[in-house]
Amino acid sequence: METISHREAVNSPERSTPSHFIKNIIGDDLASNKYEGRVHTRFPPEPNGYLHIGHAKSICLNFGLAAEYRGGLCNLRFDDTNPSKEDVEYVDSIKQDVRWLGFDWGDRMYYASDYFEQLYRCAVELIRRGKAYVCDLTPEEVRKNRGTLSEPGIDSPCRNRSIEENLDLFARMRAGEFPDGSRTLRAKIDMGSPNINMRDPVMYRILRATHHRTADKWCIYPMYDFTHCISDSLESITHSICTLEFEDHRPLYDWFLDSLGLYRPQQIEFARLNLSYTVMSKRKLLELVEEGHVSGWDDPRMPTISGLRRRGYTPESIRTFCERIGVAKRNSVVDIALLEHCVREDLNRCAPRVMAVLNPLRVIIDNYPENVVEELDAVNNPEDASMGTRKIPFSRELYIERDDFREAPPKQFFRLAPGREVRLRYAYYITCEQVIKDTVTGEVIELHCRYDPATRGGDSPDRRKVKATLHWVSAAHSIPVDVRLYDQLFSVPDVTAEKDGEDYKDYLNPASLQVLKSCRVEPGLSEAQPGNRYQFERQGYFCVDSRDSSPGKPVFNRTVNLRDTWAKIEKSIAS
């Protein structure tokens, strides 16, 4: 395509990722030298909540574009114009999350609140130019007079105030002469515009709220649309990338800057990320936290960056996910199985394998000597020989997974059963000879087995076949740990499709968290550090919880199981 060859000639991407329409626009702009060859983006979160996976899409896009073009820059800007909902806790978490994802804003961290004085002067300038006025209508009246999609709005009775009177009233608004909500400053555009955003939008409101940075210096606060374009302009942003719902705001973005005669970046809209089985609205996520449906913003079931991190997601897997979903103009819902697929793929490469028994069943090897402990060799990662091997202790008493034994095995069950022989991974073949049950409940409490000393390491010299290989741990050497199994937070794929009288919280999955208290893991895991990730063989990927673990006593969170539903979906699409 022409635009691509242009781009290559002028400023070729340094690291090539899939192309999309925004790269094409940037390519054209570089070719025509629209911004003197500059690419300067920004990520503008409002510090009113923790970042989620949708924000990750925007972060990867904005910082990713800056990294792809020579000299490209991306600012981090806190869009902090709404003091009643914002907090430094959110500012700190946002910085941590952006860094953790692998991005760097250098010395370009800004706050919209740093521009309050400049914004005020811009507002005064618009009044001087006859393009803004102080309006005495209440918020309800403003709303009522705005009209609808089919009906034009009604002019405010204050619309034709003199410039002098407007300047005076606006200065007095700032000075704190009027009560909250009693007046606003509005842009004087067109109450008959088919675009409702252009019907004299509010630029400033009176609000006595302590701001986390400017404290009580201001009692008037600028609105988002007015603030955002001017902040972009002041920072010399070239491409102001935002989500589709701002498409109808673009004329206003342009109007403010053109009316002030300021440098104008190009606003470009893309489709926001929606994920199945979850919610992405900050309001709803806050509600889940405040009402205690989850343990906090970083609950491993939350779609927040901090939740995913605590769950065991790697930054690489999230970046890969954001690359794979692409950037488009049409809204869609991405299957959460794709996100799981990405982390599985990454952890398969880098997570060491270990053996962990989640629901232990005691096994006694009757013909194995008491007081003998063998150190057997186990492979740390069959995908990566450089990760080496480790020693694991084997002894007369072991634990296997309760699910790996059936007293009366159904047809397709090939694991352990009375009289049947199976392989213990890296160890020996064993045959089940006796089943001991609780005399009252009938529950199986232990198995007595025989081992074949000739099969050490897991192979038999006579090449006889066994149909199953089980994981296990030595009873005396393994350490007891808590393991938390997570499932989707919601039990329906489309959480937003609330039926009559139902609320998204009605779809919360009651089984999203299962805590297992008597699990047993290899002794080496007593050293596991918060954040360490492992594959528990045959179970899934697990991560040491960063909050609830203590030295020598790790608590494990299941990141994802081994079953790859996404691979299945891909297969079915292909066939």
CB of 61 to ligand ATP, least distance (A): 8
CB of 332 to ligand ATP, least distance (A): 11
Which token pair is 367?
Answer: 């013909």
Are 61 and 22 in contact by the 8 Å Cβ rule? The answer is: yes
Element (H, E) at 354: strand 353-354
Active site residue 282: yes
Are 269 and 247 in contact by the 8 Å Cβ rule? The answer is: yes
CB of 457 to ligand ATP, least distance (A): 51
Active-site residue (options: 146, 264, 272, 284): 272
Give me the DSSP letters along 11-70. ---SS-----HHHHHHHHHHHTTTTTT--EEEE---SSS--BHHHHHHHHHHHHHHHHST
Are 48 and 82 in contact by the 8 Å Cβ rule? The answer is: yes
Active-site residue (options: 282, 353, 520, 558): 282
446, β-bridge pairs: 362, 436
- If the CB atoms of residues 329 and 571 are measured against ligand ATP, the closer one turns out to be 329
- If the CB atoms of residues 244 and 492 are measured against ligand ATP, the closer one turns out to be 244
- If the CB atoms of residues 169 and 257 are measured against ligand ATP, the closer one turns out to be 257
Which token pair is 300?
Answer: 């491993």
- If the CB atoms of residues 269 and 298 are measured against ligand ATP, the closer one turns out to be 269
CB of 273 to ligand ATP, least distance (A): 4
465-477 CB burial, b ≥16 within 10 A, e <16: ebeebbbbbbbeb
Are 280 and 49 in contact by the 8 Å Cβ rule? The answer is: no
3-state DSSP assignment of residue 302: coil
CB of 34 to ligand ATP, least distance (A): 22
Are 189 and 198 in contact by the 8 Å Cβ rule? The answer is: yes
Output the CA torsion 279→280→283→287 (10° steps).
40
- If the CB atoms of residues 42 and 558 are measured against ligand ATP, the closer one turns out to be 42
Distance of CA 456 to the CA centre of its chain: 45
Cβ neighbours of residue 379 closer than 8 Å, sequence gap 6 or more: 353, 389, 426
Q: How far is CA 551 from CA 474, 525, 530, 534, 543, in A?
A: 22, 11, 9, 17, 15
CB of 56 to ligand ATP, least distance (A): 8
- If the CB atoms of residues 335 and 564 are measured against ligand ATP, the closer one turns out to be 335
Active-site residue (options: 46, 125, 316, 397): 46
Position of minimal CB gap to ligand ATP: 54
Residues that bind ligand ATP (CB under 6 A): 44-46, 48, 54-55, 57-58, 79, 242-243, 272-273, 280, 282
Which token pair is 344?
Answer: 């599985």
Of 226, 222, 225, 227, nearest to 211 by C-alpha is: 222
Element (H, E) at 533: strand 533-536
**Number of residues in the chain:** 575
CB of 280 to ligand ATP, least distance (A): 5
Which token pair is 254?
Answer: 């342009």
- If the CB atoms of residues 166 and 240 are measured against ligand ATP, the closer one turns out to be 240
CB of 545 to ligand ATP, least distance (A): 27
**Rounded Cα gap, residues 61 and 327, in angstroms:** 8
Element (H, E) at 98: helix 88-100
User: Up-side HSE of residue 226: CA atoms within 13 Å toward CB?
Assistant: 28
Active site residue 349: no
- If the CB atoms of residues 321 and 472 are measured against ligand ATP, the closer one turns out to be 321
Ranges of H-type helices in 162-312: 163-175, 224-234, 250-260, 282-290, 305-311
- If the CB atoms of residues 67 and 543 are measured against ligand ATP, the closer one turns out to be 67
Tell me which amino acid residue 278 is.
T
365-387 CB burial, b ≥16 within 10 A, e <16: beebeeeeeeebebbbbeeeeee
Active site residue 57: no
- If the CB atoms of residues 54 and 64 are measured against ligand ATP, the closer one turns out to be 54
CB of 54 to ligand ATP, least distance (A): 2
CB of 87 to ligand ATP, least distance (A): 13
CA quadruple 474, 476, 477, 482: dihedral sign: positive
Give catalytic residues, as residue numbers.
46, 272, 282
